[in-house]
């Protein structure tokens, strides 16, 4: 009887222990995820630390916003941007649409800071290559003469003048293609909306280009960067606070004709798809800038990317060249962790 | 050492392996793939057994191949075949889609390695 | 009537024992520590010995004084280290209180000895430190991968300290409980 008591006491005491330890595990991670089909891609929204009611509200708001912007910013379909393009071709002042005016203003600033490499005004050229419609062209690529004709007209964002709420293009060849930065702009607007609703920890990921705010309960959001060659994940980076991660790649929209690949990122200087680079990744706060910068850096290529990154105020940039060499600035090299070490890495001067 | 002391020791030693079992599983590798059609969950398939899965989409059937704990698109009725070019997915959180066919796949594990994938 | 606070014999005893614990604690802090947050905890030998010789209340005093004064002397007072130490000490004191009460009540004369108490104290101390670190400073689920390792060390060190305490008590008084 007494040995039973002995065991009982000891068991009671340690039992209380075991119970507390095995019962106390990590706090459940309150994550809400939703997928929205919009902006011509799949948008994944991740929220942390909100209750079900706020999550539903946030997802509805994001859904509405994206659907509205999808129509509003489409340059070639009926809608605010489509209409703006029609009016720009008339070389006359008109009242700008209130949801388009800020977009055009941003485009002008980004055109300047990118030394003209980011130039949405070449919409006609992009159309010539067949990248206006949602379905991909099959080829053949446009004739050199046609390209040169459009190049000679030299449409740039500088040709778009804004006075108050009125706008006009002094060059009838200007057609604004928002493709290079509309996603970034849309993501920024949705993030602003989420913040106003009281969501402070989230990722808004529009087809791989994303902005992450806050953190995952104190731990940084872990973002994987896909290998452009298709071999899984190239690298990972942790983001916390408020960061956008945008990548422009030649593999996103392209067609092959007679063995040659033609992609959608047209170099405004040559009129042809940019050569020399496979992808460019930019990390920054503002999604619009990151999106435009990723486009501009891809066009700039291995020889000029550093200069353009500097003038656009980019703090973290990475380029994967066509030969597989990875270029990046020291700050990016510190942040990024490679899963598959690339064959050649070139770390540039600081930005 | 009293008998009571010994009992405490034995129980403490018994507790230790329980702690390891409970807190030491790393769910970094993916275990299943969640297939969505039109944004809505369609099926969750384990990555443990090699097999092929045919997914009916808006344009036709997309075919997925599961092998060695990874998954990829091997056939899809879209023009760009971007989904196929995405290659093998095996890390938790890895994700790709055939947009024209409205089919998307995401690797899910006990604890996804990535919160989002940038490409 | 003159009221004065006169330290009595118990107070002297507490002070002396606390000083002993603090000295051991500080001396141990001077040693290089391969693992962060894990110390051999030799000062606990004093705490457990006090528990066995003079009862729980004295042991509680000695333990708290050791944490407080130790942190003042080491310059860690009110730092995160102090908070964790205090949490550990409180957890271990509470556990010892419960254990000694149960032991005295259910197994008078042949309850837990220094080894058992030391084991429980060590495990409670580490658990207290771990959970306060998790709730207050590092709320990552990944922290839990450390818990099994820390608890293993707690069991080993608790046992060693317990044996040291028992040996010491036997030396001090051959008739004391083993």
Q: Are A84 and A176 in contact (CB under 8 A)?
A: yes
* pLDDT of A43 higher than 80: yes
pLDDT digits (tens, 9 = 90+) for A283-317: 999 999 999 999 999 999 999 999 999 999 999 99
Q: Do B19 and C147 touch (CB under 8 A)?
A: yes
Q: What percent of chain A has pLDDT over 90?
A: 75
CATH number for the domain that contains residue B41:
2.60.320.10
Chain A residues near residue B80 by CB distance under 8 angstroms: 136, 253-255
Chain C residues near residue B110 by CB distance under 8 angstroms: none
**Angstroms from B63 CA to nearest CA on chain C:** 36
pLDDT digits (tens, 9 = 90+) for A182-195: 999 999 999 999 99
Dist. CA C178–CA C168, nearest whole Å: 10
Q: Are A44 and A60 in contact (CB under 8 A)?
A: no
Nearest-10 crossing angle of helices C43-54, C114-132? 130
pLDDT for position A12: 63
Bridge partners (DSSP) listed for residue A40: none
Residues of chain C with a CB closer than 8 angstroms to some CB in chain A: 95, 98-99, 102-103, 106-107, 110-112, 116, 120, 123-124, 127, 131, 134, 138-144, 147, 151
Chain C residues near residue A16 by CB distance under 8 angstroms: 98
Count CB neighbours of C163 within 10 A.
15
Q: Do B8 and A236 touch (CB under 8 A)?
A: no
Q: Do B18 and A13 touch (CB under 8 A)?
A: no
Q: Which of B7-11, C7-11, C66-70, C73-77 has the lowest mean pLDDT?
A: C7-11
Question: Could you tell me the fold of the domain covering A80-176?
Answer: T-fold (1.10.3980)
Chain B residues near residue C178 by CB distance under 8 angstroms: 1-2
A16 at interface of C, judged by CB pairs closer than 8 A:
yes
CA atoms in the 13 A half-sphere facing the CB of A125 = 29
pLDDT for position C172: 76
Number of domains within chain B:
1
Q: Which helix (H) or strand (E) holds B14?
A: helix B3-23
Nearest CA in chain A to B83: A230
Q: Do A218 and C107 touch (CB under 8 A)?
A: no
**Full pLDDT tens readout for chain B, 119 residues:** 788 888 889 999 998 888 887 776 544 455 788 898 887 888 888 888 889 999 998 889 999 999 888 899 999 988 777 788 778 887 777 778 888 888 888 887 655 678 888 88
- Mean pLDDT on C51-72: 88
Q: Which of A76-80, A335-339, B19-23 has the lowest mean pLDDT?
A: B19-23
Dist. CA A132–CA A77, nearest whole Å: 9
pLDDT for position A116: 95
Chain B residues near residue C158 by CB distance under 8 angstroms: 12
pLDDT for position A68: 94
Q: Are A328 and A305 in contact (CB under 8 A)?
A: no
Residue among B4, B9, B20 whose CB faces C107 most closely = B4
Residue to substitute from B5, B11, B112, interface C, most C β-carbons within 10 A: B5
Q: Do C107 and A2 touch (CB under 8 A)?
A: yes
Instruction: Give the rounded distance of the alpha carbon of C27 from its chain centre.
Output: 16
Q: Are A279 and A254 in contact (CB under 8 A)?
A: no
pLDDT for position A99: 92
pLDDT for position A1: 44
Chain B residues near residue A21 by CB distance under 8 angstroms: 15, 19
Q: Name the pairing type of β-strands B116-118 and A221-226.
A: parallel
Find where tokens 């970034």 sit: A184
B14 at interface of C, judged by CB pairs closer than 8 A:
no
Q: Are A297 and A274 in contact (CB under 8 A)?
A: no
C174 versus C102: the higher-pLDDT residue is: C102
Q: Name the pairing type of β-strands A326-328 and A345-347.
A: parallel
pLDDT for position A4: 58
Find where tokens 């809505």 sit: B40
Dist. CA A247–CA A294, nearest whole Å: 6
Nearest CA in chain B to A5: B4
Count CB neighbours of C161 within 10 A.
25
pLDDT for position A151: 95
pLDDT for position A160: 96
Q: Do A219 and C116 touch (CB under 8 A)?
A: no
Residue to substitute from C139, C159, C177, interface A, most A β-carbons within 10 A: C139
pLDDT for position B111: 58
Dist. CA A267–CA A42, nearest whole Å: 27
What is the ipTM metric for this complex?
0.76
- How does DSSP classify residue B119? -
Same fold, A80-176 and A220-347: no
Q: What percent of chain C has pLDDT over 70?
A: 88
Dist. CA A22–CA C178, nearest whole Å: 32
Nearest-10 crossing angle of helices C80-106, C43-54? 30
* pLDDT of A172 higher than 60: yes
- Mean pLDDT on A234-259: 91
| Mean pLDDT over the full length of chain A | 90
pLDDT for position C174: 62
**Angstroms from B12 CA to nearest CA on chain C:** 7
In whole angstroms, how far apart are CA A114 and each of A157, A304, A314?
12, 11, 11
pLDDT for position A280: 95
* pLDDT of C49 higher than 60: yes
pLDDT for position A48: 93
The full 3-state SS of chain C, as one line of letters, equals CCCCCCCCHHHHHHHHHHHHHHHHHHHHHCCCCCCCCCCCCCHHHHHHHHHHHHCHHHHHHHHHHHHHHHHHHHCCCCCHHHHHHHHHHHHHHHHHHHHHHHHHHHCCCCCCCHHHHHHHHHHHHHHHHHHHHHHHHCCCHHHHHCHHHHHHHHHHHHHHHHHHHHHHHHHHCCCCCC
Nearest CA in chain C to B21: C148
In CATH terms, A220-347 corresponds, of 3.10.520.10, 3.40.50.620, 3.40.50.150, 3.30.1130.10, to 3.10.520.10
**Does domain C9-172 correspond to CATH entry 3.40.50.10190?**
no
Count CB neighbours of A269 within 10 A.
12
Length of chain B: 119
- Mean pLDDT on C86-105: 89
Chain C residues near residue B113 by CB distance under 8 angstroms: none
* pLDDT of C2 higher than 70: no
Residue B91 placed within a domain: yes
Q: Where are the domains of chain A?
A: 80-176, 220-347
Q: Supply the pTM of this predicted model.
A: 0.66
- Mean pLDDT on A206-231: 87
pLDDT for position B28: 45
- Mean pLDDT on C125-136: 87
- Mean pLDDT on A233-244: 92
N-term to C-term CA, chain B: 63
Instruction: Give the rounded distance of the alpha carbon of C124 from its chain centre.
Output: 9
| Mean pLDDT over the full length of chain C | 83
Residue among A21, A223, A227 whose CB faces B19 most closely = A21
Chain C residues near residue A21 by CB distance under 8 angstroms: 127, 147, 151
């Amino acid at each position: 009887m007494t040995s039973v008591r002995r065991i009982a006491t000891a068991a009671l005491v340690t039992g209380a222990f075991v119970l507390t330890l095995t019962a106390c595990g990590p706090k459940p991670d309150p994550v809400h995820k939703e997928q929205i089909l919009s902006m011509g891609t799949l948008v994944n929204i991740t929220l942390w630390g909100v209750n079900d009611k706020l999550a539903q509200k946030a997802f509805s708001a994001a859904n509405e916003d994206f659907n509205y912007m999808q129509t509003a910013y489409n340059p070639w379909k009926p809608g605010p941007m489509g209409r703006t393009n029609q009016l720009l071709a008339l070389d006359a002042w008109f009242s700008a649409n209130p949801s388009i005016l800020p977009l055009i203003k941003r485009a002008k600033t980004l055109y300047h800071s990118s030394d003209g490499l980011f130039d949405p005004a070449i919409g006609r050229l992009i159309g010539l290559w067949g990248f206006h419609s949602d379905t991909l062209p099959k080829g053949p690529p446009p004739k050199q003469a046609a390209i040169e004709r459009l190049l000679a007209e030299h449409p740039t964002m500088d040709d778009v003048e804004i006075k108050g709420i009125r706008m006009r293009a002094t060059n009838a060849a200007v057609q604004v293609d928002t493709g290079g930065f509309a996603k970034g702009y849309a993501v920024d607007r949705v993030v602003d909306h989420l913040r106003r609703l009281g969501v402070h920890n989230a990722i808004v990921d529009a087809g791989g280009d994303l902005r992450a705010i806050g953190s995952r309960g104190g731990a940084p959001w872990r973002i994987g960067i896909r290998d452009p060659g298709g071999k899984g994940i190239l690298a990972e980076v942790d983001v916390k606070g408020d960061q956008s991660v945008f990548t422009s790649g030649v593999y996103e929209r392209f067609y092959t004709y007679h063995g040659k690949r033609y992609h959608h990122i047209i170099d405004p200087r040559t009129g042809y798809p940019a050569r020399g680079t496979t992808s460019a990744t930019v990390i920054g706060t503002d999604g619009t800038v990151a999106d435009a910068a990723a486009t501009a850096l891809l066009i700039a290529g291995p020889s000029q990317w550093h200069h353009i990154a500097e003038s656009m105020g980019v703090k973290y940039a990475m380029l994967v060249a066509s030969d597989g060499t990875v270029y990046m600035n020291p700050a990016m090299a510190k942040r990024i962790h490679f899963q598959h070490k690339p064959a050649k890495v070139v770390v540039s001067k600081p930005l | 050492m009293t008998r009571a002391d010994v009992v405490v020791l034995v129980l403490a030693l018994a507790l230790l392996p329980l702690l390891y079992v409970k807190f030491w599983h790393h769910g970094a590798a993916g275990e299943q793939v969640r297939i969505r059609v039109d944004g809505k969950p369609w099926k969750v398939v384990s990555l443990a057994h090699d097999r092929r899965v045919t997914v009916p989409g808006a344009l036709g059937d997309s075919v997925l191949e599961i092998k060695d704990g990874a998954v990829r698109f091997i056939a899809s009725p879209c023009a760009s075949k971007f989904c196929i070019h995405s290659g093998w997915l095996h890390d938790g959180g890895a994700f790709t889609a055939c947009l024209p066919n409205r089919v998307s796949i995401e690797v899910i594990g006990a604890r996804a390695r990535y919160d989002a994938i940038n490409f | 009537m003159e009221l004065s606070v006169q330290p009595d014999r118990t107070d002297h005893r507490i002070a002396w024992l606390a000083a002993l614990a603090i000295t051991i604690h500080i001396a141990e802090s001077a040693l290089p520590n391969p693992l962060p947050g894990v110390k051999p905890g030799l000062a606990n030998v004093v705490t457990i010995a006090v528990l066995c010789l003079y009862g729980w209340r004295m042991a509680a005093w000695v333990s708290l004084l050791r944490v407080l004064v130790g942190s003042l002397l080491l310059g860690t007072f009110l730092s995160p280290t102090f908070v964790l130490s205090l949490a550990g000490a409180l957890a271990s004191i509470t556990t010892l209180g419960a254990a000694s009460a149960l032991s005295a009540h259910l197994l008078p004369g042949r309850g837990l000895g220094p080894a058992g108490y030391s084991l429980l104290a060590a495990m409670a101390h580490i658990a207290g430190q771990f959970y306060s670190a998790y709730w207050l400073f590092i709320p990552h689920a990944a922290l839990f991968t450390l818990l099994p390792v820390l608890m293993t060390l707690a069991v080993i060190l608790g046992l060693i300290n317990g044996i040291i305490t028992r040996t010491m008590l036997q030396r001090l008084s051959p008739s004391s409980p083993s």
